[in-house]
Amino acid sequence: MKRKAANKQELEQKLERIWEYMRSGRHQGHWGMDMDHWDWVPGVGVISLLEYGTVAGKGEVIEYLLHWVGRNKQQAEGVRVINSLAPYAVFPELYRLTGDPWYLSTAQEIAGWILESAPRTREGALEHTVTEAVEFPEQVWADTVYMAVLFLARLAGLTGDRELAAAAVQQTLLHLRLLQDPATGLLFHGWNSGAGSHMSAARWARANAWVTLAVPEIVAGTGSLTAVPQELYNRYRRLASALRQAQGAGGLWHTVLDRPDYYGETSASAGIACGFLKAVKSGLLENSYLESVEVALAKILPLIREDGEVQGVSGGTPVMPSIEAYNRIERYPAVYGQGLVMQLLTEALNLGDMKDRLERQGFQEQREQGEQKGYPERQGHQGQQEHPVRQESQRRQGQSKGEAPLNVEGEAGG
């Protein structure tokens, strides 16, 4: 049965409410929702607002971002850790929009620090460092791909810098190699290079979301500047396939992906679904992944309250001491949860048009293939060709037959 795309007007209304909730001054001093500090939490927020503002043509959102940078840039001075790099991902586009050379020079300075001075593990992967007074020596976290590597790819795309592009691809592939579970294809939250282990070995949902969401853009921004190894594509597609299989029956992904008895988590689900959308749009994934997107979107929309608050978002989460500890993470409103849902809804604004275009394209390819081979067109119900998404679903169905919780308020986690 063909699933009806989300109503565009409803998405626009939800986006407006999320945006109003994010910019409200009443959140000041509340770690999860306070926009006015320089770290990964508001960083994910401003990345999301930039996408919303540009796609939806919201000039007031872009103005807010420019004022946000002006208000908070002094907090960034002297802070050189992975988590504090997330806000810089908006600098390349703000430079394009304003022509202000400060955005470009600052971004290039930060990129220079990443290439030359940022701590690395023995494998050469960026060590995950945080603003809080805690260290994770020689630890690799999936979060880094979104918080830092995405910025490198965006700056490379702006400047045409091949060295930055190569570094972004190298770091992405390193993280996939170190974090991907060979048995399932899912990603572990972290890797301890010194111990040679994945620590608690949790296949944490939001870790998988950061990578699923970032890779399509990293590849798109760097592919014309440097070679992207086939291994990276293969690993990403294996990850996506594993995530599709792990999607919960209700539409959300569970906070630990292979634990269906654990709660479904909103921010990770939005990030994974948005990553699928971006990957289908770019041709990185096949069209059938839109089925998973629509199921997740239908479940997420009711979790947006009338005032714009996104519910069901887990708090900041470092690599936890046990898998069980992930299920005890408190859930509360957070900028990154608002932002990841905002990104999904923004990408979904044109989902109906996208599906129609892909369907027409699929029909055309089928006709051309049939004409080349001398085959008659395959007919589905009511004399129409079978939908390519449904065909893929049927193909997959045929193949399948044969310890104490941490206080995470302000915690150094993603």
* Chain segment 146-162, per-residue pLDDT in tens: 999 999 999 999 999 99
Q: pTM score, two decimals?
A: 0.89
CB 252 within 8 A of CB 209: no
What distance in Å separates the CA atoms of residue 398 and residue 223, rounded to the nearest whole number? 35
Percent of the chain with pLDDT over 90: 83
What distance in Å separates the CA atoms of residue 176 and residue 184, rounded to the nearest whole number? 13
34 is catalytic: no
Residue 356 has phi, psi (to 5 degrees) of -65, -40
Please give the pLDDT value at position 5. Answer: 62
* Chain segment 264-303, per-residue pLDDT in tens: 999 999 999 999 999 999 999 999 999 999 999 999 999 9
Answer yes or no: is pLDDT of 377 > 80: no
What distance in Å separates the CA atoms of residue 168 and residue 114, rounded to the nearest whole number? 10
Give the model's confidence band at 79: pLDDT under 50 very low, under 70 low, under 90 confident, else very high: confident
What distance in Å separates the CA atoms of residue 188 and residue 202, rounded to the nearest whole number? 5
Given 34, 36, 100, 143, the catalytic residue: 143
Answer yes or no: is pLDDT of 109 > 60: yes
CB 285 within 8 A of CB 240: yes
For residue 329, give the 3-state DSSP assignment.
Answer: coil
**Contacts of residue 388, Cβ cutoff 8 Å, sequence gap at least 6:** 287, 288, 358, 359, 362, 363, 366
CB 253 within 8 A of CB 269: yes
For residue 180, give the 3-state DSSP assignment.
Answer: strand
Least confident interval from 294-298, 314-318, 383-387: 383-387
| Residue 118 parent element (H or E) | none
DSSP label of 264: B
What distance in Å separates the CA atoms of residue 144 and residue 258, rounded to the nearest whole number? 22
* Chain segment 53-67, per-residue pLDDT in tens: 999 999 999 999 999
Percent of the chain with pLDDT over 70: 87
Query: What average pLDDT does this structure show over 312-322?
Result: 97
Query: What single letter denotes the amino acid at residue 30?
Result: H
Please give the pLDDT value at position 371. Answer: 61
Q: State how far Cα 199 lies from the chain centre.
A: 23
Sign of CA dihedral 69, 75, 77, 78: negative
DSSP label of 58: -
* Chain segment 212-226, per-residue pLDDT in tens: 999 999 999 999 999
Residue 91 has which token pair? 């600098």
Residue 158 has which token pair? 């702006």
Neighbours of 402 (CB within 10 A): 4
Please give the pLDDT value at position 350. Answer: 93
Mean per-residue pLDDT over the chain, rounded: 90
